Homo-oligomer: A and B are copies of this chain.
């Protein structure tokens, strides 16, 4: 499937999907004869995962490491990343902890944001 469809399905911009390819975060599994990026369903799943991670404030490089580690744990070694399953587990555990911590932060930020919205509402009542 082509990048336009992928962008629509993931709610990412075409430029963003392209950028993730440029930095090696999610590289399309194939190219057409004319050079068009072709994404498999697995590629799309990875992009969806990345989109879920974005609010957690990880860098693209960190997400790349995480995706690689998860790939190792799920038994698809990804070709060029020679991570041991053990290293992968520690890495994923670290990300899990950071993810949970960030979720807590997000919750308080959300509460504050809601409070703010109501303050603005009161301002124009």
Contact = CB atoms under 8 A, between A and B. Distances in A.
Interface of A: 49, 52-53, 55-56, 70, 73-74, 89, 92-93, 95-96, 99-100, 102-103, 106-107, 109-110, 112-117, 120-121, 123-124
A112 B52 contact: yes
The 9 closest A-B pairs by CB, nearest first: A99-B117, A96-B120, A55-B109, A52-B112, A52-B116, A106-B110, A92-B124, A93-B124, A100-B117
A120 B103 contact: no
Given A55-B113, A112-B52, A113-B56, A120 B92 contact: yes
Contacts of A109: 55, 106
Main secondary structure of the interface of A (DSSP, over half): helix
Contact of A115 (B52, B102, B112): B52
A96 to B, nearest CB: 4
Contact of A110 (B55, B89, B95): B55
